[in-house]
Structure 1
Amino acid sequence: MTDDQILSLVDRATDEFRGELVELESAIGMLLIGRQYGWRVILLVHSPATVRKYLKILGLKHLREALPEVGVLAHRSNAWRLVDGTQNFWKAVRGQLSGVRSGKADTPPR
């Protein structure tokens, strides 16, 4: 999605939203952070139930509709660095690998 499309989506979701504003704020935050980190990192940070809730708030069916698979800042995600280049991504998303789900981001070691 382009920046204008993202902004239109956020405006529409905000206009149509009824409920706790903190949930709307979190859904928008997930979308905006996901632009830089990608949908794979988002799936490693949030539980599947949380992603589904945020997608519903945003009026999306899949993160792939709006976000790159791997964003330019994905390498800063600790969770992504643990699964990048392995076949464990979907196991980590399903919670079958302990210690992977993490929202921590930092500058990776050089």
Structure 2
Amino acid sequence: MSDEELLRLVDRIVDQYGGKLDELESAVGMLMLGRYYGWRVLLLVHSPNTIRKYQKILGLKSLKDVLPEVGVLAHRSDAWRLVEGTQNFWKVVRGQIGGVRSTRVDKPS
């Protein structure tokens, strides 16, 4: 999805939204950061319930529909570095492997 398309989507969501403003802010923030980190990192950062809640607020069936799988800044995510190139990604997302979820990102080197 291009930046223009994404901004039109956000404009539509904000215009039509009724609910808690802090939840809208968090959902839109996740979407905007997802442009840089990708949907895989978002699934490692947020719980499945949070992802579902934000997708509902955004009117999305899946983050895969609008975000890259792996964004240009994914390499800065601690959680992504732990699972990148392994078969463990979906096990971590499903909670079968613990101790990987992390919201920490490194500064550029």
Report the TM-score when normalising by structure 2: 0.96
**Paired-residue identity, %:** 69
Query: How many corresponding residue pairs?
Result: 109
Question: In 1, distance between residues paired with 2:76 and 2:50?
Answer: 22
1:31 match: 31
Match of 1:56 in 2: 56
Gap runs ≥5 in structure 1:
none
Give, in whole Å, the separation in 2 of the partners of 1:66 and 1:57: 14
Letter paired with 1:72:
V
Counterpart-to-counterpart distance in 2, 1:19 and 1:107: 34
One-letter identity of the residue aligned with 2:37:
Y
Within 1, Cα distance between the matches of 2:59 and 2:5?
13
Stretches (4+) displaced over 3 A: none
Gaps of 5+ in 2: none
What amino acid does structure 2 have at the position aligned with 1:25?
E
In 2, Cα distance between the equivalents of 1:5 and 1:84? 29
Which residue does 1:10 correspond to in 2? 10
Q: SS of the counterpart of 1:99?
A: coil
Name the residue aligned to 2:74.
74
Q: Deviations over 1:11-64 (max 9, x none)?
A: 111111111100000000000000000000000000111111111111110111
